C-alpha cells in the first residue's frame, strides 16, 4: 500500500512537469518593455533610431542627392566609385536591383514596420502612463513621414497600418496613401507637443506635423492631380504663426558641428560621434566626399573615400554674390590645418622619390572632364562642405558619425514653401512682402526679390541654393517640371523615370508587390 502511495505521488509529480515556456537570459523578449514607462520609451525609441539611417552611404538621402542635379558620383582618381549602381542613378537609367533603391525602400518600410509594431503594442498592452497620447501621436506622424517618402519615390506602395492585418500588404494608390497621410496628420497633430525646446529636440512636434502637411499639399498636384496650394499656404502659415521658429542670423549655424540650437530646426535627426556609431545609423558625409589630401585639414585620421562631388553646372548656377555657394561647397584653394594654402607632394612609399606635386586648388568646373570619361583628378569637382567638419580628431573610422545633426525640416524651407504656394496662386506680391523671405535673401548676400522677380524658375533656383544637399532637390525638380531635362552627365529622361522601380528583391518576397512601375 505504501508503495502504491509512492507510485501515485510520483505519477502526480510527473504530470505536473509539463511547462514548456522558454526562458530567455541573454536576449530580451518584447514583454519586458511594457512594465514601466522608461522601458516603454526605450521600446518606442526604435521609430526614431530607424530615422538615423538617413545619413549613411547608401541611404534615401544619398540616393536623392545622386538622382538630382546637385551631386555626382564618378570614378575618382584611383578608379573607385565606378560601380554601376552610381551610374544608374546619375543617368536615371535604373535597374530594379539597384542597392540604393533597395536601401531606401528598407528605410521607409522598416520604419513603417517599427511604428506599426509600437502603436499596436502600446494600444493592446493596456499600459497607461503620462504622455501616452503624445507618444502615440509621434508614432503616427513618423509613420506618415515614412509613407510620405515612399509615395514620393515609388507612387503606389504596399500599405499596412495594423499588425492585425492578415497576409502580405497589398498595393494602395498614391492618392489613397496621400489621403491617409493627410488624415493622420490632421487627426494627431493637436496631440503633439508644441514645445520646440531642448526637451523635444529630435522629436516630432506640431511644427513637424504642419511642415509635413505643407510638403504633402505642395506636391498634391504632382502626386494626385489635384492642386492644394491654398492648403499648403495655410499649413506653412501655422508654422510661421506658432512663433516657435526664426531664421538663424548666420546661414552656416544651421550646419555647424553643434547645430542643435538652431532656431530653424523643426524636425531633426540628431547624430553623435559617440552614440550613433555604426553603419546603419550614422551621418558619414566626410568619408563620402573628402579625399586623403584634404583629411588632415580636419584632423581626420582615416583616409576618406573621395566619392561625392558637386555637379559643375549646379555650381555655376549660383549668383556670384550668393554666400551660400561657399557655405555649401569646398572649391578653389584649400588650406591645411594651420591655414596655409594646401600644397600636395606625392612620394613613392619605398624610394621616397617625389612623383607628383601640386597646389590643392579644386576646380569646381571640372574643366576637360565629361561624365563617364574615366577617372577625374584629385582636384576636379567641388566637395560637399555644407556641414562643418569637426576638427576634434574623433572621426577615425568609416562608420564614425559626424557630430552635426541633420535638420530634415528647416524653417527656411517652410518660408520658401509658403512663398511658392503664394506664387502658384498668383499672389507674388504677397510673397515678395514676406519679411522672413526678405531676410533669407539678405542673409545670403542678395537683394530681396520683387514680385516681378518671383517667377517659378527663379523660385526654383532659390530653393536649390538655400536647400542644396538637404535631400529635397529631386522632389523640387519634379514639381517644377525639370526632372526630365538633360543636365550634366544625364541625358533627357522619360515620364516614367519620375517614379523609381520597386526593388526586385522585395517583389520576390511579397507576391502582392506588383505591378512594377511602368518602364522598368
Closest contact distance (angstroms) between CB of 185 and other proteins is 20
Closest contact distance (angstroms) between CB of 109 and other proteins is 6
Going by C-beta distance under 8 Å and a sequence separation of 6 or more, which residues neighbour residue 179?
Answer: none
Whether residue 382 contacts residue 315, with contact meaning beta carbons closer than 8 Å, is answered with yes
Going by C-beta distance under 8 Å and a sequence separation of 6 or more, which residues neighbour residue 229?
Answer: 217, 218, 421, 424, 425
Which residues share a beta bridge with 159? Answer: 170
CA distance 268 to 405: 7
Closest contact distance (angstroms) between CB of 501 and other proteins is 16
Alpha-carbon separation of residue 488 from 95, 112, 145, 247, 370 (angstroms): 21, 35, 31, 33, 8
Q: What is the dihedral of CA 57, 59, 61, 66, to 10 degrees?
A: 70
Whether residue 486 contacts residue 144, with contact meaning beta carbons closer than 8 Å, is answered with no
Helices (H), 189-275: 206-218, 220-224, 229-241
CA distance 380 to 310: 10
Closest contact distance (angstroms) between CB of 84 and other proteins is 17
Alpha-carbon separation of residue 106 from 55, 147, 180, 297 (angstroms): 14, 12, 20, 36
Q: Which is nearer to other proteins, 107 or 308 (CB)?
A: 107
Helices (H), 347-499: 411-424, 428-432, 435-443, 456-467, 473-479
Long-range contacts of 245-250 (CB under 8 A, 24+ apart): 245/196, 245/207, 245/411, 245/414, 246/411, 246/436, 247/411, 247/412, 247/415, 247/436, 247/439, 247/440, 247/443, 248/443, 249/443, 250/443
Q: Which is nearer to other proteins, 275 or 335 (CB)?
A: 275
Closest contact distance (angstroms) between CB of 395 and other proteins is 17
Closest contact distance (angstroms) between CB of 145 and other proteins is 15
Q: Which is nearer to other proteins, 7 or 496 (CB)?
A: 7
Closest contact distance (angstroms) between CB of 402 and other proteins is 15
Q: Which is nearer to other proteins, 199 or 345 (CB)?
A: 199
Alpha-carbon separation of residue 80 from 76, 146, 291, 307 (angstroms): 6, 32, 12, 8
Backbone phi and psi for residue 181, each to the nearest 5 degrees, phi listed first: -60, -45
Q: Which is nearer to other proteins, 360 or 409 (CB)?
A: 409
Q: Which is nearer to other proteins, 102 or 470 (CB)?
A: 102
Closest contact distance (angstroms) between CB of 48 and other proteins is 4
**Chain centroid to CA 507: how far?**
24
Q: Which is nearer to other proteins, 234 or 505 (CB)?
A: 505
Q: Which is nearer to other proteins, 29 or 243 (CB)?
A: 29
Cell of 200: 523635444
Closest contact distance (angstroms) between CB of 117 and other proteins is 6
Closest contact distance (angstroms) between CB of 199 and other proteins is 6
Whether residue 416 contacts residue 454, with contact meaning beta carbons closer than 8 Å, is answered with no
Q: Which is nearer to other proteins, 461 or 507 (CB)?
A: 507
Q: Which is nearer to other proteins, 157 or 295 (CB)?
A: 157
Residues lying near other proteins in the complex (CB under 8 A) are found at: 3, 7, 10, 14-15, 17-30, 32-33, 41-43, 45-46, 48-49, 52, 106, 109-110, 112-114, 116-117, 158, 160, 163, 165, 167-169, 198-199, 201-203, 270, 272, 274-276, 278, 280-281, 505-506, 508-511, 513
Closest contact distance (angstroms) between CB of 122 and other proteins is 15
Q: Which is nearer to other proteins, 157 or 382 (CB)?
A: 157
Closest contact distance (angstroms) between CB of 142 and other proteins is 12
Span between the terminal Cα atoms of the chain, in Å: 83
Q: What is the helix (H) or strand (E) element at residue 507, kind and residue range?
A: helix 504-509
Q: Which is nearer to other proteins, 108 or 478 (CB)?
A: 108
Amino acid at each position: 500500500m505504501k508503495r502504491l502511495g509512492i507510485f501515485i505521488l510520483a505519477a502526480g509529480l510527473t504530470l505536473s512537469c509539463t511547462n514548456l515556456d522558454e526562458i530567455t537570459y541573454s536576449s530580451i523578449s518584447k514583454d519586458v518593455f511594457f512594465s514601466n514607462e522608461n522601458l516603454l520609451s526605450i521600446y518606442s525609441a526604435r521609430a526614431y533610431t530607424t530615422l538615423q539611417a538617413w545619413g549613411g552611404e547608401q541611404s534615401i538621402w544619398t540616393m536623392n542627392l545622386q538622382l538630382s542635379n546637385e551631386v555626382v558620383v564618378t570614378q575618382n582618381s584611383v578608379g573607385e566609385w565606378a560601380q554601376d549602381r552610381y551610374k544608374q542613378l546619375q543617368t536615371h537609367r535604373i535597374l530594379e536591383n539597384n542597392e540604393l533603391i533597395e536601401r531606401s525602400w528598407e528605410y521607409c518600410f522598416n520604419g513603417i514596420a517599427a511604428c506599426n509594431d509600437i502603436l499596436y503594442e502600446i494600444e493592446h498592452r493596456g499600459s497607461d502612463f503620462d504622455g501616452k497620447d503624445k507618444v502615440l501621436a509621434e508614432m503616427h506622424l513618423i509613420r506618415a513621414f515614412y509613407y510620405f517618402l515612399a509615395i514620393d519615390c515609388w507612387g503606389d506602395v504596399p500599405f499596412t497600418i495594423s499588425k492585425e492585418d492578415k497576409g502580405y500588404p497589398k498595393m494602395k494608390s498614391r492618392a489613397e496613401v496621400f489621403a491617409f497621410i493627410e488624415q493622420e496628420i490632421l487627426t494627431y497633430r493637436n496631440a503633439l507637443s508644441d514645445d520646440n525646446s531642448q526637451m523635444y529636440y529630435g522629436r516630432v512636434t506640431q511644427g513637424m506635423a504642419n511642415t509635413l502637411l505643407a510638403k504633402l499639399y505642395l506636391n498634391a498636384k504632382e502626386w494626385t492631380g489635384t492642386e492644394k496650394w491654398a492648403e499648403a499656404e495655410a499649413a506653412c502659415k501655422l508654422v510661421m504663426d506658432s512663433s516657435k521658429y526664426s531664421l538663424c542670423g548666420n546661414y552656416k549655424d544651421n550646419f555647424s558641428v553643434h547645430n542643435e540650437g538652431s532656431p530653424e530646426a523643426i524636425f531633426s535627426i540628431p547624430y553623435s560621434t559617440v552614440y550613433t556609431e555604426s553603419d546603419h545609423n550614422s551621418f558619414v558625409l566626410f568619408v563620402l566626399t573628402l579625399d586623403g589630401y584634404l583629411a588632415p585639414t580636419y584632423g581626420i585620421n582615416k583616409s576618406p573615400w573621395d566619392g561625392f562631388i558637386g555637379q559643375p553646372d549646379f555650381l555655376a548656377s549660383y549668383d556670384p554674390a550668393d554666400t551660400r555657394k561657399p557655405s555649401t561647397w569646398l572649391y578653389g584653394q584649400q588650406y591645411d590645418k594651420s591655414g596655409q594654402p594646401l600644397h600636395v607632394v606625392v612620394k613613392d612609399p619605398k624610394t621616397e622619390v617625389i612623383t607628383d606635386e601640386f597646389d590643392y586648388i579644386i576646380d569646381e568646373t571640372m574643366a576637360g572632364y565629361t561624365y563617364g570619361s574615366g577617372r577625374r583628378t584629385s582636384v576636379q569637382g567641388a566637395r560637399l562642405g555644407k556641414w562643418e567638419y569637426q576638427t576634434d580628431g574623433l572621426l577615425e573610422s568609416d562608420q564614425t558619425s559626424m557630430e552635426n545633426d541633420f535638420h530634415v525640416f528647416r524653417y527656411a524651407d517652410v518660408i520658401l514653401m509658403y512663398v511658392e504656394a503664394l506664387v502658384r496662386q498668383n499672389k507674388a506680391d504677397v510673397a515678395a512682402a514676406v519679411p522672413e523671405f526678405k531676410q533669407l535673401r539678405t542673409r545670403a548676400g542678395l537683394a530681396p526679390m520683387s514680385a516681378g522677380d518671383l517667377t517659378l524658375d527663379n523660385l526654383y533656383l532659390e530653393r536649390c541654393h538655400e536647400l542644396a544637399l538637404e535631400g529635397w532637390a529631386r522632389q523640387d525638380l519634379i514639381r517644377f517640371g525639370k526632372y526630365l531635362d538633360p543636365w550634366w552627365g544625364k541625358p533627357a529622361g522619360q515620364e516614367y523615370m519620375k517614379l523609381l522601380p520597386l526593388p526586385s528583391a522585395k517583389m520576390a518576397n511579397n507576391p502582392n508587390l506588383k505591378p512594377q512601375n511602368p518602364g522598368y
